[in-house]
Every structure is written in C-alpha cells, then in structure tokens.
C-alpha cells in the first residue's frame, strides 16, 4: 500500500542485517511523459505499465549472479547478535515496492514475501502529507491510487501464497521486529 512504510522498513533492515542490499521499485518509474493518462486526466502511476519492470527484473537477476560485487556493505551490521554469526557467505537482497507480487517474472525469485496493509482513512491521511513529483491532483487518491491498491491486493490474495500480511498501522519498531525475526529464522534454515 502507498505510504505503508515499505521503504522505511527496508532501510532499517538493511542496517541490521549482514551483507544486505535494497532494490526499490520506485527507481524504475518511467518518466512522466511515458505514463498513460486516463479520461479524467489522472496520470496512471499505480499500474505496472508505469514502471520499467523488465529493467527491475534484470537488476535483481544481476545482483543475484554476483551479490558480492554489487557494492553491498559487508561490515558488521548495527545491533549484531549471536543469531547472525556464520552468515558471512549469505547475501540478502530486499526488494521493496508496491506492485511486486503482481508481476509474474518476479514471483519465482522470492524467498519471503511481506505485504503491508493500511485501512483507507490512514492511507489517505499519510498520502496527504507526502509531496510527489508530479503532485497528486485533486481526487487522485480516491480516483486512482486507492482503487488500484484494492485491485492488486485482491489479485494477490487470489493468486499468491506464502505472503505474510503486516498491519501498517503498527509501530515501525513492531514491524521491524516481526520481519527481522522472520528473516533470522530463514537465515538459520539456510545454515542448517
């Protein structure tokens, strides 16, 4: 969901996990001139066609081929604990974005999937505090952003499995703790 805390969570995890890097879907938006406009004049940014998804997949696959040469920081993470011992050879890539699980070529790549949710009112409130380029036009949230979120969330619920749904109204600390603990469990499985 827009303004659910995806980027914040990803960046905090990156600081806490060893050999961790982040790829953000926001870095793959097409320029405004290439984004479709609907009959109401809304730029359709909340659809897969507004993004260079093939380039994103290519970036992820390139990282996976050679994570050690990707520039990932291999220093000791903040708050390192005993759970992270013997993980020098494990590299973690966090891919964050709002339309990741609805793009089929990516679905074979995930080890873990998390989906942040927000109720309508909270999402609208958070969105209203952000500045976008181009700026949201009046009615854009209700006319495009929220309906696209609902559409893609419904598709995800129908077609995807093994998705951990996270309540985006919880504190950043709670969300971080939950996802971090889950990743540590996953790392332990990899070591076994």
* Catalytic residue set: 26
88, 51 in Cβ contact below 8 A? no
In 3-state terms, what secondary structure has residue 145?
helix
Tokens 């504190």 correspond to what residue? 171
Within 8 A by CB and 6+ apart from 24, the residues are 7, 10, 95, 96, 97
15, 105 in Cβ contact below 8 A? no
Within 8 A by CB and 6+ apart from 61, the residues are 109
Within 8 A by CB and 6+ apart from 3, the residues are 118, 123, 126, 127, 130
């Amino acid at each position: 969901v827009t303004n659910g805390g995806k980027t914040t969570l990803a960046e905090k995890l990156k600081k806490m996990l060893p050999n961790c890097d982040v790829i953000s879907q926001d870095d793959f938006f097409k320029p405004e001139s290439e984004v479709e406009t609907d009959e109401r004049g809304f730029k359709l940014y909340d659809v897969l066609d507004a993004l260079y998804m093939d380039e994103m997949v290519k970036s992820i696959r390139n990282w996976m081929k050679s994570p050690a040469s990707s520039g990932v920081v291999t220093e000791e993470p903040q708050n390192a604990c005993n759970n992270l011992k013997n993980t020098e050879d494990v590299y973690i890539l966090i891919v964050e974005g709002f339309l990741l699980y609805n793009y089929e070529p990516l679905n074979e790549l995930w080890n873990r999937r998390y989906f942040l949710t927000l109720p309508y009112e909270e999402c609208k409130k958070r969105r209203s505090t952000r500045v976008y380029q181009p700026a949201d036009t009046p009615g854009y949230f209700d006319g495009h952003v929220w309906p696209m979120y609902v559409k893609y969330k419904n598709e995800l619920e129908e077609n995807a499995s093994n998705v951990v749904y996270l309540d985006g109204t919880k504190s950043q600390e709670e969300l971080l703790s939950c996802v971090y603990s889950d990743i540590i469990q996953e790392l332990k499985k990899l070591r076994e």
